[in-house]
Amino acid sequence: MTVLLRTMQADDLAAVYQIQTQAYVADMVEAPALLAARLASAPECAWVAVQNGQVLAYLAAYPSIRGKISALGEDFQIAQAANALYLHDMAVATEHKGKGLARAILEFALAHARKQGWQHACLVSVQSTRSYWQSLGFMEQTELDTEQKAILATYTGTAHYMLMDL
C-alpha cells in the first residue's frame, strides 16, 4: 500500500500526540493543546505520512531565522522574514520505524523550504540523534550566544543545534 505525504490536519493531532509519546522521553512530550496551537500558527509547515488513513509519522516545523533556537514547550515564533525552516519535531510510530518514512517526510519538507526561497533548515538534535542528522547533511553549530545556549538548555539531556544549507 502506498504512503501519502500531506499537510497535517487538526484531525491528525491525536495520532501525532500518540507517536510523540512513543518517540520521546516523558519530559520532552509536549501537550496536545500546544501541538494544536503550533499547527494553527504554521499549518503549511506541518506534514504527516499516512497509509490507509493511519498517521505513521509526522514533522512539525515553522518559518524561522538561521541561528534562532526554539525552546521546548513554547509556541512557535514565526519569522516574518524567514530564511530557514525550523524542524521542531519529527517522529515515526514505533511499528513503522526503518521504512524510510522519516527521510521521505524530511525531503518533502526541504522541498517546501526551497520553494519558499529559504536558504537553511535547522533543528535541535536530542536523544542521541546527532549522528543521524549529520548523515543527512546537518552540521552542529557550537558558536551560540548566551540567549541561544539558554534556550538549548530547555531540552532534556544533551541537545545540539544543527543546520543545513539548502
The confidence score (pLDDT) of residue 135 equals 95
The pLDDT score that the predictor gives to residue 36 is 94
* CA atoms of 3 and 55, how far apart (whole Å): 10
| Per-domain residue ranges of the chain | 4-165
Buried b (16+ CB within 10 A) or exposed e, 61-84: bbbbbbbbbbebeeebeebeebbb
Q: What is the CATH number of domain 4-165?
A: 3.40.630.30
Cα–Cα distance, 142 to 157 (Å, whole number):
16
pLDDT, position 51:
95
pLDDT of the chain along its 166 residues, tens only? 689 999 999 999 999 999 999 998 888 898 999 899 999 999 999 999 999 999 999 999 999 999 999 998 888 999 999 999 999 999 999 999 999 999 999 999 999 999 999 999 999 999 999 999 999 999 999 999 999 999 999 998 999 999 999 9
What confidence score (pLDDT) does residue 46 get? 97
- Of the candidates 33, 4, 5, 1, which has an alpha carbon nearest to the alpha carbon of residue 108? 5
Do the beta carbons of residue 58 and residue 93 sit within 8 Å?
no
Q: Cell numbers of 153, please?
A: 538548555
